[in-house]
Amino acid sequence: MNKNYPKIPDEKECYRLMDKYQMLPNIIEHSRQVMNVALVIADNLKAKNTVNRDLVIAASLLHDITKTQGLATGEPHDKTGAELLRSLEMPEIAYIVGEHVFFTNFNPEGPVEERELVYYADKRVMHHTIVTVDQRINDLLSRYGTTPDRRERILLNSRMIYFIDEKLQRNVNGNLEQLISRLPAL
């Protein structure tokens, strides 16, 4: 294991965790597609940008690890997922999961980070379908913008999606939309 990332589960272990924490099949499908989007970007980054591919895979697959539970309890799945993963001694994955709903400390000029890939990929996948940023924002507003405060937070956060989109476009070989559009449907 890489000493900078002490505990990164492989895909098989991620699926075992998904089963253990009873992720609904549709949430698993969503997570698989998030992984596909994040990886196509990671695999096409310009040479100066290096990300830990194993960390991208694990964080993508586990980003909604407590969403099933959150649907029943109303708890914020980004926070409960991060707590769970910290308790499983996966702090790097926990950090990314904790950032996948509301992204903080964005550095537009810094190297591409794993958390940016997972955050962005999550915002490009509606259920298990790859959509445009605008389509996903509208989906988030209709599903989660149930109060004026929640709507305002979603709209404020939606600007971050566009900032990360611009950063990724500058840092990939080729056209970001074309790369993503080549992915097969699940």
pTM given for the model = 0.93
Domain assignment present for residue 183? The answer is no
**Helices (DSSP H) in 43-147: which residue ranges?**
53-62, 67-73, 77-87, 91-99, 114-124, 133-144
User: Which parts of the chain have pLDDT scores under 50?
Assistant: 1-3
Give the pLDDT of residue 3: 45
Whether 35 maps to a domain, the answer reads yes
Q: What is the pLDDT of residue 49?
A: 81
Parent domain of 23:
11-102+109-172
Q: What is the pLDDT of residue 2?
A: 42
Residue 185 lies in a domain: no
> How many domains, the chain?
1
Is residue 180, in this structure, part of any structural domain at all? no
Instruction: Tell whether 57 is covered by a domain.
Output: yes
Cα 167 from Cα 162, distance rounded (Å): 9
Q: Which tens digits make up the pLDDT trace of 26-36?
A: 999 999 999 99
Q: For residue 82, is it within any domain?
A: yes
Is position 3 within any domain?
no
- Alpha carbon distance 79, 64 (integer Å): 10
Bridge partners for 130 per DSSP: 125
- Domain membership flag for residue 121: yes
At residue 4, the pLDDT reads: 55
pLDDT of residue 1: 37
Q: Kindly report the CATH number assigned to the domain that includes residue 68.
A: 1.10.3210
pLDDT the model gives residue 7: 83
Task: Round the average pLDDT of the chain to a whole number and report it.
Answer: 93
